[in-house]
Structure 1
Amino acid sequence: MTMADGATPRVRDFYNTFPYPPDPLQDGPPPGYNWRWCYATAYSHCTGQAPDPRQPLHILDAGCGSGVSSDYLVHLNPEARVTALDISSEALAVARERLRRSGGEQRIRFHCVSLLEAPSLGRFQLINSVGVLHHMADPAAGLAALAMALADGGILHLFLYADGGRREIHGTQHALRLLGVQADGTGVQFARQLIAQLPEQNSIRQRHQQRLALDTVGDAAFADMYLHPQETSYNLARLFRLMEGCGLEFLGFSNPRIWQLDTLLQGEVLERAKALPDRQQWQLIEALNTDISHFEFFLGKPPLPAHDWNRDEDLWAATAQRNPCLWGWPGSRLLGPDLEPVDLDQEDLALLKAIDEAPSQPLRHLVRHLGVDADGGRGQMRMGQQVRALWQRRLALLRPTVH
């Protein structure tokens, strides 16, 4: 029997009308990268270590829509077998064409099924489900299905709407429902006119013009924001209640800079805030930053390792690899995993090049190759500091000795 969520028929019809995301099709691999969709970098972010390369890698894109994320998952994980599902046949048609044109169609399988059927498709080391659970009538049931489909030691990346930064969007959605506006081309034009005719000082109009207009130029993007038939959003307290009982561990936010106190506070206030437990720190940031419009984070199914690389013995026995999500390599001026500017000095550049050329070499052998004293001298100590710094900056990934 085919499983379906209570909202499936209307959500399916909506995305058949407005396949999403509306990113244009192009020939060749997708541009750039998103490190959250690269298993090695995502796993390292969650655990501190790169994954075992000997393990077969199965990835699920749960709610792939028009295939933008699927395209990246295929090209950023060339060794993986990728499976993608969605309830919209029209969106899947776009996804298939996108992967055909990018050259990735041979390494992906598409299924037109509900997310609730994910466990029937296998067990996966990485599941990506961005912007899906909040469009279900029962998000908890959707999360439970994803937890069942996640392999032991696997990681799940989620993206869910947040209350705080969507206040004006929610107001617009409610107004359009009261006016009986339908999710079709005529409805989109009516909604655009409504926002444009509001007084200049109106917060809905201001928010749209200042922050949302560029993201909603196309009708599909506008409809997804303002005319979606099923949407739930969360605050942190409800988000963590959603996670309770699913058998997965919270591994951290995938946009961690947003959740650092020093982005908002300083001085005595910052010091007082640092004394709070983690969740209260996050709730403080949530209360003060009214622009947080979504939560993006990782969950994991135990057992999962946790490496900090403080022990020299572990470090020198490890292998290292360059983070594959660096733009501009092998230059000294790069864009890092979050597209932030990165400048490498000559020593760091030389070390990262040596790592890149010998990713299977234990670091103790790399030390000798670079002509550094391998007997615990000051040269080795300095190189250990360098390696740890590259790891902390997410420029290099470290992997324990594989036995």
Structure 2
Amino acid sequence: MTMADGATPRVRDFYNAFPYPPDPLQDGPPPGYNWRWCYATAYSHCTGQAPDPHPRQPLNILDAGCGSGVSSDYLVHLNPDARVTALDISSKALAVARERLRRSGGEQHIRFQCISLLEAPSLGRFQLINSVGVLHHMADPAAGLAALARALADGGILHLFLYADGGRWEIHRTQQALGLLGVQADGAGVRFARQLIARLPEHNSIRQRHQRRWNLDTVDDAAFADMYLHPQETSYTLEKLFRLVEGCGLKFLGFSNPRIWRLNTLLQGEALERARALPDRQQWQLIEALNTDISHFEFFLGKPPLPTHTWNCDEDLLAATAQRNPCLWGWPGARLLDPDLQPMDLDQEEVNLLKAIDAAPSQPLQSLVDAAGDRSQRRLGEQVRALWRRRLVLLCPTPN
């Protein structure tokens, strides 16, 4: 029996009319990268260590709610040894996804399924599940999360993206107004909605917010419709989000956009000192209260058992193997974009160390003491640890 969420017919019809995301098709691999879709970097972000380089089972990845295949394309190309499965309820979106993967050269490494996310457990168990912008379009997001939890392998990680209530107030008001006016999710509805926003008074906050923040994101009609005319949507506060997560058997592993959740981006002085004394969750709630631009939550959950490695012990560190983070733009060179595409400058000693790591990715770091010149074990440990903290290298402990 085919399983379906209560909102499936409406959501399926919507995405058949507006396949999303509307990114153009192109020949060849996708441009750049997204480290959240690279299993090695995502796993290291969540646990502190790289995954086992010699796993017993092949790496299985699920893109749960793949839409037009943008995320699937990255998952295939950033994980060349993985078996990727992509599911979606929209046949029209999947047709675009298949063509995208054909043109990018990734079609041999992926299988597509036109089924509900609720059926994910029937497809097997996955070490990485990506489900971006999906649960909040279900009538019962908790049931969707429970299905993903069952499909996640022991020790696996799940990446989610859900709407945040506080940073979408103008979208919610526009949606309400369009609903009252009986605007439909079709081409005529998109044209009407665009005109409505454009003809609001110049001082109107909804118009100003759209022009300042969302205008470029909604140039394509599919993107505009997804934002303002979607038939099923739920948004979350942090409190509501953690209620959703509790009871699913998964552990919260942290946000995948950690810069947003740093207190010193908003506070200073006494306020910062007081905030740092709060438990983590209350710190995040404080940031949520003060940052009115948080329009979504993106985060990782994991299924135990999962390691936690801090690399405080030099002996463990020097016995580990290292690899350069594959999600660095501009390597080899001293001026890089880090995994979050932020500018980063390296000194020559750091460049030389990364090159030495590149040349011996399967060798214990101890072997680099002499290869790196006059660097002592202690100095090597300090430098590698600094590179790890900046997410420039991934570290894998020596097997017991």
Normalising by structure 1, report the TM-score. 0.98
3-state SS, counterpart of residue 336 of structure 2: strand
The counterpart of 2:281, out of the listed 266, 279, 290, is 279
3-state SS, counterpart of residue 341 of structure 2: coil
Partner of 1:182: 184
User: Within 5 A, what are the aligned runs for 1:4-403?
Assistant: 4-55=4-55, 56-372=58-374, 379-402=376-399
Runs of 4+ in 1 over 3 A off after TM superposition: none
3-state SS, counterpart of residue 154 of structure 2: strand
Deviations 1:162-217 (A, max 9, x none): 00110000000011111111000000000011111111111110111111010001
Answer yes or no: is the 8 Å Cα contact 2:314–2:378 preserved in 1.
no
Answer yes or no: is the 8 Å Cα contact 2:162–2:298 preserved in 1.
yes
Deviations 1:258-312 (A, max 9, x none): 0010000001111011111111110010000010000000000000000000011
Deviations 1:330-383 (A, max 9, x none): 11111110001111111000000010111100011122333446xxxxx22111
3-state SS, counterpart of residue 67 of structure 2: coil
How far, CA to CA, are the matches of 2:193 and 2:342 in structure 1? 36
How far, CA to CA, are the matches of 2:343 and 2:399 in structure 1? 33
Over the aligned positions, Cα root-mean-square deviation in angstroms equals 0.8
How far, CA to CA, are the matches of 2:386 and 2:231 in structure 1? 47
Answer yes or no: is the 8 Å Cα contact 1:372–1:380 preserved in 2.
no
Answer yes or no: is the 8 Å Cα contact 1:49–1:306 preserved in 2.
yes
How far, CA to CA, are the matches of 2:312 and 2:211 in structure 1? 49
3-state SS, counterpart of residue 49 of structure 2: coil
3-state SS, counterpart of residue 110 of structure 1: strand
Answer yes or no: is the 8 Å Cα contact 2:133–2:161 preserved in 1.
yes
Answer yes or no: is the 8 Å Cα contact 2:149–2:250 preserved in 1.
yes
How far, CA to CA, are the matches of 2:343 and 2:194 in structure 1? 37
Normalising by structure 2, report the TM-score. 0.99
3-state SS, counterpart of residue 82 of structure 1: strand
Answer yes or no: is the 8 Å Cα contact 1:136–1:142 preserved in 2.
yes
How far, CA to CA, are the matches of 2:314 and 2:392 in structure 1? 19
Q: Residue 398 of structure 2 aligns to which amino acid in structure 1?
A: T
How far, CA to CA, are the matches of 1:203 and 1:53 in structure 2? 52
Deviations 1:11-66 (A, max 9, x none): 00000000000000000000000000000000000000000021221000000000
3-state SS, counterpart of residue 128 of structure 1: strand
Q: Residue 12 of structure 2 aligns to which amino acid in structure 1?
A: R
3-state SS, counterpart of residue 308 of structure 1: coil
How far, CA to CA, are the matches of 1:322 and 1:351 in structure 2? 10
State which drifts further: 391-400 or 195-204: 195-204
Long gaps (5+) in structure 1: 374-378
